[in-house]
């Protein structure tokens, strides 16, 4: 299994590296980092990480992974990026998003008619990305066909473990959670942060 | 507040980026990444991140942060690194470790006579780093003077939130946990992973 991670300036740190911690513990799963033009990608936590460009992405994508973050605000308006994202998602076996990454994916129209979720703090903004997506506010994560979308930031880790469970088995996912000393919330419909829409 | 993060080859991903996600949400806290010789530092999850070298670290260190990871096994035997780490830790106002990062710190002898904890899976190995450290196995994290040590990987996030609480206030830490949709385990003595010493 190859995990193809898409990065962009001002991606959210834990959206990426929570799931990466988990995927990296599955035998034979490999992780690669890409951005539109390649090179070093920086974010608000002063991280500067090496990426290859979109042209380097292999034709057959196992799993496409799209994080959220402050950078989505401008990225969602870049038609060329959204078109490239659509093309990549269409040829991916699975597509996973964390937080506002689902807004980017919804903008491609590939979530039209499908259920999806996102960060609770900015849910109203996310919904503007696509009126045809069936947005579910109360969910830790949502699976609809090949698409997995998760709520804010930390929720990506619970989704990642569920994805590992679905591709391998529950025992493998539980062993990873124990190994990384993480309390895995296994119920996707339990969402303690749903009614919380504070703005700070 | 300046957070000075020490990286090395094969650091554990979430040890670093879980706490970074939290520190980055505190107003006026800044994060910098350093390694012994600077440049790109890579790990087992294929992350390649930019760092400055140890010589670039400012004289007055607010908070020194030491992650764990597979790389600690060889690093702990490198006398020059341990000496540099000791010097950096001595001039830091606070020193935080996650997972096997506490073995590196203990090796400097700065934890002699102090309480500390670490990852449960490799606790026996960690204890060999210093017989004079009072190793506490059952703890999510331990605070002793200016030293904060946490258990394995995900435990670093709970410790990071406690550190934010201690430096600011509880409300600030709780708001960050809510913002990142993270279930903060606030009780440092509760440790569900303590009796788990499986080897895989």
Q: Please give the mean pLDDT across all residues of chain B.
A: 95
Is A50's CB within 8 Å of B48's CB?
yes
- Count CA within 13 A, CB hemisphere, residue A128: 7
Contact status, residue B45 vs residue B13, Cβ threshold 8 Å: yes
Q: Which of B44, B119, B178 sits opposite A193 (nearest CB)?
A: B178
Handedness of CA B180, B182, B159, B6 (dihedral sign): negative
When scoring B4, B13, B159 by the number of chain A Cβ atoms within 10 A, the one with the most, hence best to mutate, is: B13
H or E element: which one contains B62? strand B61-66
How far is Cα B132 from Cα A195, in angstroms, rounded to an integer? 49
How many residues make up chain B in this entry?
200
CA distance A154 to A58: 29
* Closest-approach residue (CA) in chain B for A193: B181
Residues of B with CB under 8 A from a CB of A: 12-14, 16-18, 20-21, 23-24, 30-33, 40, 44-50, 119-121, 151-155, 175, 178-183, 185, 192-193, 196, 198, 200
Taking the CA of residue B180 and the nearest CA in chain A, the distance in Å comes to 5
Q: pLDDT per residue over B135-144, tens digit each?
A: 999 999 999 9
Q: Please name each of the domains of chain B with its CATH number.
A: 2-179 (3.40.50.880)
Testing the interface with B: which of A13, A120, A200 to mutate, by most B Cβ within 10 A? A13
pLDDT in tens, A21-62: 999 999 999 999 999 999 999 999 999 999 999 999 999 999
Contact A181 B49 (CB under 8 A): no
Q: Residue A63: what are its φ and ψ, rounded to 5°?
A: -135, 120
**Whether residue A200 has pLDDT greater than 80:** no
- How far apart CA A58 and CA B120 sit, in angstroms, is 39
Smallest Cβ distance to A182: which of B50, B154, B181? Answer: B154
Q: Which of B14, B33, B198 sits opposite A180 (nearest CB)?
A: B14
pLDDT value, residue B197: 44
Please say if the pLDDT value at position B196 is more than 80. Answer: no
Residues of A in contact with B48 (CB under 8 A): 33, 49-50
Query: What single-letter DSSP state applies at residue A96?
Result: E
Residue partners of B180: CB distance under 8 A and separation at least 6: A14, A152, A153, A154, B21, B22, B25
CA distance B90 to chain A (A): 25
Looking at residue B198, what is its pLDDT?
43
> ipTM greater than 0.90, yes or no?
yes
pLDDT at A198 over 50: no
Listed range (A7-21, A170-184, A186-200) with the worst mean pLDDT: A186-200
Nearest to B135 by CA among B147, B123, B145: B123
């Amino acid at each position: 299994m190859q995990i193809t991670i898409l990065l962009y300036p001002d991606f959210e740190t834990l959206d990426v590296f929570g799931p990466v911690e988990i995927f990296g513990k599955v035998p034979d799963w490999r992780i690669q980092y890409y951005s539109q033009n390649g090179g070093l990608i920086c974010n608000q936590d002063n991280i500067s990480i090496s990426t290859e460009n979109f042209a380097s992405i292999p034709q057959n994508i196992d799993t496409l992974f799209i994080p959220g973050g402050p950078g989505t605000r401008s990225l969602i308006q870049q038609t060329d990026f959204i078109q490239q994202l659509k093309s990549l998602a269409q040829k991916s076996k699975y597509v996973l998003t964390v937080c506002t990454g689902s807004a980017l994916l919804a903008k491609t129209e590939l979530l039209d008619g499908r259920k999806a979720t996102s960060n609770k703090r900015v849910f109203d903004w996310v919904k503007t990305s696509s009126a045809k997506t069936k947005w579910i506010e109360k969910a830790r994560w949502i699976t609809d066909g090949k698409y997995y979308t998760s709520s804010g930031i930390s929720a990506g880790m619970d989704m990642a473990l569920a994805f590992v469970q679905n591709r391998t088995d529950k025992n493998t996912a539980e062993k990873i959670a124990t190994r990384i000393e993480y309390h895995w919330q296994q119920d996707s419909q339990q969402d303690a942060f749903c009614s919380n829409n504070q703005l700070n």
